[in-house]
Structure 1
């Protein structure tokens, strides 16, 4: 039996308002999906089906409204785009407020953690595959400066209920933050990410609703913010960009609730790193500048923020601003003298050298970038296996571009050594890129041996 489909006039109207063709919308949807590691092949014929009334499959609706939002420079919802009905039991929240601080009364950090635990984020493999399409929302990066947050009280959640939170409970959460941090840097974001999602939702979130002494409450918010940050980074490392952003925004909200400018700056920095990695250079600079404007506290924490500001400026080609921010980071790390023991915002000489390498590369100094990368690998702490692998992949790429095959092959072998124990989409992507770059050298015996080794260790990692 044939069914009647009503043409999607709302979507057609948005396309006209945006001045976009069907082919351009399809290309933009594919590009946004690629930010989360998805390879889609939509074309103008797919958009024609949507215009005729067919609803895009799976989470493609979120990709479509994000593409329209970015083009129109305003939030577009599923309802705006004519993608109704929304699945039962779910609100049309594809795009909420432009900032995470102008939500309904119930939209506090605890509520956000509970909502995120229900998203397709690794509880089952099947759900994970669809959740990978959740896009980064550019509109959500239009964030208020900390000064505005400090003078505008945030909407509160419900009154505290239950027994008081004891300091020993917070000590347990702080200890878990160190455990998840070590797991992440050593084994990659795909290892333990689902456990952290569950821990935040089931163990930590209920404590946010319970009464606590002011000092205990501050420690609880700080520890929860660190875990939300780590959860965001683990999603980022595994190319789950939309969910990574949402956890970062929860960390930002917790810092605001806690009245902590340094933690607010660290969350802004994380959003800047993510925006920069996905090619949103202007947003990366703006977020890094906002972070630098409110960061206070230890010199290493400030260097952590200013190093990212240098990277972001270099991405825009702003040489003077990039070198000035990098000089600030260098001065601060020299003044600090000792390292930090913290699961969030840790910064050391290897971190600075990596940022120096990125800045030099973006400003056209490839040889200087290679030197800094090699030094960063040497100074990298032994347990930072993922960082070492990614640095070696970048170093191999630079050596190949300079036709230094021997050095490139050495870096590639060391990369393969580190990769074996890692569960990280970023590392997997670097592995695929490395094999592609080496194929033109396939007749060289040493390169052939490396390609053979890579083939033996090749694996398609199931999302965790």
Structure 2
């Protein structure tokens, strides 16, 4: 069709074949969430993804041709956008970091057309691990700029708001704060002059900025923030925060349907967490391993990792450890386990853990929405469609409180899972309401 975008063509061919997003994702071995982003125009398609979709849909090269025309006519991602570098030179690294902040703060569409590059983590992770294989790493001095506590408190506030409402309403404020208030302190200073506390606080806020970009589905931007946060954590010699950042990288790779990089990142997080001697972090890294193994259909490795996560979470002292790991509790681990068993097709286990995941602490509205969709999906797996729709409506009730593009992909994913029962009255009611929510986004 003349003027049709590659996303529109992909959706037309998929629907003509009667495939859900999840089914096409399974056939192509790519994330259904990423395919949804292509269809809605939020992300540019990688050539290999379009080729796989074209083949599975029997499009005879038509999708490939449309994608090629779009690439020729449309905006091209710049090769010199900052953030994927992991410089061992301190001043060069700070220039990369502050340039990333400045360009993100000044351009609303910054890196919107750039692709997530799974191989970009290889050098940062290896350099991080090499550093902490050295027993006598030199720590920075104990002196700190007067802004250290301010950065910590701002980060806590931003993190609380993110957990409550999602990234949509606060991401720009975080980036503006980093560019306007933090960058001037970093420029021209050495790690020794800044102190470990200040560098850790900035690394934590940069990691949060990456998480916010990820929640907005700006995956290339989120990836770059994660890499630069790891570089700052290395400057601070903060093993615990490094493990958290690596686990976040693994989480993003899982969401994007790239389980093999996710496994490798989770293993790096695990090694770091063991060295940091923070049991809760070991539990988190083990949970990421489990989820990635589930996507690879490696059931034994998955269940072994879940057992390890449960063991280390049981050893965690909730009164100690970094404040930013407080979200990791039994409900969080139950949610990851629910996702694992759902990916493995284990109906009863998926439902059991999904129910446990809703026994949450207050203050995590977005997480509650995610877990309700997880439970609804577990009901779909059991073909208990009425109950799936009932729980789905509870998730929709929360969408008015949350500004999270990632949450919308969860809702859309549930819609696609319910498509085989589209003639069911309750499914129609859920579909109609979900379409309104998605359209408003």
Taking structure 2 as the reference length, the TM-score comes to 0.76
Correspondence 1:283 to 2:267: no
Displacement of 1:151 in angstroms is 6.7
Q: Which residue of 1 aligns with 2:341?
A: 360
Note the 1:28-47 alignment, pairs <5 A.
34=38, 37-38=42-43, 43-44=64-65, 47=68
- Are residues 400 and 264 of structure 1, via their aligned partners in 2, closer, same or farther at CA, if it must alter by over 3 Å? same
CA contact (8 A) 2:213 2:221 kept: yes
Taking structure 1 as the reference length, the TM-score comes to 0.73
Correspondence 1:144 to 2:126: yes
Q: Secondary structure at the match of 2:277?
A: coil
C-alpha distance in structure 2 between counterparts of 1:94 and 1:229, whole Å? 16
- Are residues 105 and 276 of structure 1, via their aligned partners in 2, closer, same or farther at CA, if it must alter by over 3 Å? same
Correspondence 1:57 to 2:74: yes
CA contact (8 A) 2:291 2:339 kept: yes
Correspondence 1:112 to 2:129: no
Unaligned runs of 5+ residues in structure 1 are 1-29, 63-77, 79-91, 153-163
Correspondence 1:191 to 2:169: yes
Correspondence 1:135 to 2:115: yes
Note the 1:177-216 alignment, pairs <5 A.
177-209=155-187
CA contact (8 A) 1:188 1:422 kept: yes
CA contact (8 A) 2:270 2:286 kept: yes
C-alpha distance in structure 2 between counterparts of 1:144 and 1:33, whole Å? 31
Displacement of 1:147 in angstroms is 4.2
2:288 to 299, 308, 333: 308
CA contact (8 A) 2:144 2:197 kept: no
Q: Secondary structure at the match of 1:279?
A: coil
C-alpha distance in structure 1 between counterparts of 2:349 and 2:296, whole Å? 19
Note the 1:24-103 alignment, pairs <5 A.
34=38, 37-38=42-43, 43-44=64-65, 47=68, 57-59=74-76, 61=77, 92=80, 100-102=86-88
Displacement of 1:229 in angstroms is 0.9
If each structure's helix is expressed as a fraction of its own residues, which one has the higher value? 2
Displacement of 1:306 in angstroms is 1.8
Q: Secondary structure at the match of 1:343?
A: helix
C-alpha distance in structure 2 between counterparts of 1:279 and 1:213, whole Å? 37
Displacement of 1:284 in angstroms is 0.9
Q: Secondary structure at the match of 1:107?
A: helix
C-alpha distance in structure 2 between counterparts of 1:204 and 1:265, whole Å? 23
1:299 to 272, 276, 279: 279
Q: Which moved more, 1:202-211 or 1:335-344?
A: 335-344
Displacement of 1:342 in angstroms is 2.0
Correspondence 1:349 to 2:349: no
C-alpha distance in structure 1 between counterparts of 2:425 and 2:322, whole Å? 45
Correspondence 1:409 to 2:392: no
Determine which structure has more spread, i.e. the larger CA radius of gyration.
1
Q: Deviations over 1:372-398 (max 9, x none)?
A: 011101x22221111111111122122
C-alpha distance in structure 1 between counterparts of 2:44 and 2:408, whole Å? 15
CA contact (8 A) 1:269 1:308 kept: yes
- Are residues 409 and 251 of structure 1, via their aligned partners in 2, closer, same or farther at CA, if it must alter by over 3 Å? same
C-alpha distance in structure 1 between counterparts of 2:239 and 2:84, whole Å? 24
CA contact (8 A) 1:170 1:216 kept: no
C-alpha distance in structure 2 between counterparts of 1:217 and 1:210, whole Å? 14
